[in-house]
Amino acid sequence: MRILLEHFSKSFGAVKVIEDMTLEIKDGEMLALLGPSGCGKSTTLFAICGIHRVTSGRILFGDRDVTNVPSQERNVGVVFQSYALYPHMTVADNIAFPLRIRKMPEAEVKRQVEEIAGLVHIEGLLGRRPAELSGGQQQRVALARALVRRPNVLLLDEPLANLDAKLRLEMRSEIRRIQLETGITAILVTHDQVEAMSMCDRIAIMNAGEIIQIATPQEMYRNPRTAFVAGFLGNPP
């Protein structure tokens, strides 16, 4: 689904964090929000998923204005750096949780959980608890839980930050594979330019609450609009 931020601003008290941001995420694309720590990436994601109210501006999911729609009614899938799995529940129950709180019949819950477990390659882990999984496996479970309701958009906030270098490489391509297989619209928040370039269709580069440039990785690399963009991208991967 296409996501549109129109003249989006967000302040905390007197502090303006985002000012007049307009950003379109196209249906089915994976877009990176790339920028240094503190530039407002997470604040933007929180506004899209409805955890934060916007100070001004509008948010559209397709043609629907969701600016004042509560978070639980937006059907957004989120994966954060800390996976926040429920430690006392099995993998299957973790994934089923978003379905059960919406009173889906049990036979249908089981079918959906098995289908999504197949997609993220954790079929053999459904009976385990989170403490019995590796970091990469826990992240696959978090992805499965985020995707099980077939959300309008998948929001990933620095999802690879807690993984070691080898797993990070593996999960980069796995997340991209899953995004392409499902065709879901996705936003990846990261401060890692190589991650953004290797995983995403387009990159929106941010600094101090503003989008400086939006382009495909190739275009941005070939034609950085400002010295900040060129400096931030550094050397090609």
Half-sphere exposure of 229 (CA within 13 A, CB side): 20
What's the min distance (Å) between Cβ of 209 and ligand ADP?
Answer: 7
Do residues 2 and 28 touch, judged by C-beta distance below 8 A?
no
**Residue 188 phi/psi, 5° resolution?**
-105, 115
Restricting to residues 5-64, which ones interact with Mg ion according to CB under 5 A?
42
What's the min distance (Å) between Cβ of 174 and ligand ADP?
Answer: 23
How far is the C-alpha of 168 from the C-alpha of 166, rounded, in Å? 5
Instruction: Tell whether residue 236 is a contact of ligand ADP (CB under 6 A).
Output: no
How far is the C-alpha of 10 from the C-alpha of 40, rounded, in Å? 9
Restricting to residues 14-33, which ones interact with ligand ADP according to CB under 6 A?
15, 17
Encoded one letter per residue, x for contact with ligand ADP by CB under 6 A and - for no contact, window 76-105 reads ------------------------------
Q: How many residues belong to the site for ligand ADP (CB under 6 A)?
A: 11
The window from 35-43, 77-85, 91-99, 167-175 that contacts ligand ADP (CB under 6 A) reads 35-43
Restricting to residues 38-57, which ones interact with ligand ADP according to CB under 6 A?
38-43
How far is the C-alpha of 144 from the C-alpha of 113, rounded, in Å? 8
* Partner that binds at residue 137, options ligand ADP, Mg ion, none, CB closer than 5 to 8 Å by kind: none
Q: Which residues make beta-bridge pairs with 33?
A: 189, 204
Restricting to residues 147-166, which ones interact with ligand ADP according to CB under 6 A?
none
What's the min distance (Å) between Cβ of 25 and ligand ADP?
Answer: 17
Residue in the structure block whose two tokens are 């204005």: 65
Q: How many beta carbons lie within 10 A of that of residue 39, not counting itself?
A: 22
How far is the C-alpha of 89 from the C-alpha of 127, rounded, in Å? 9
Work out the angle at residue 47's Cα, subtended by the Cα atoms of residues 45 and 48, and round it to the nearest 5 degrees.
Answer: 65
What's the min distance (Å) between Cβ of 121 and ligand ADP?
Answer: 29
Q: Which residues bind Mg ion (CB under 5 A)?
A: 42
Q: Which residues bind ligand ADP (CB under 6 A)?
A: 12, 15, 17, 35, 37-43
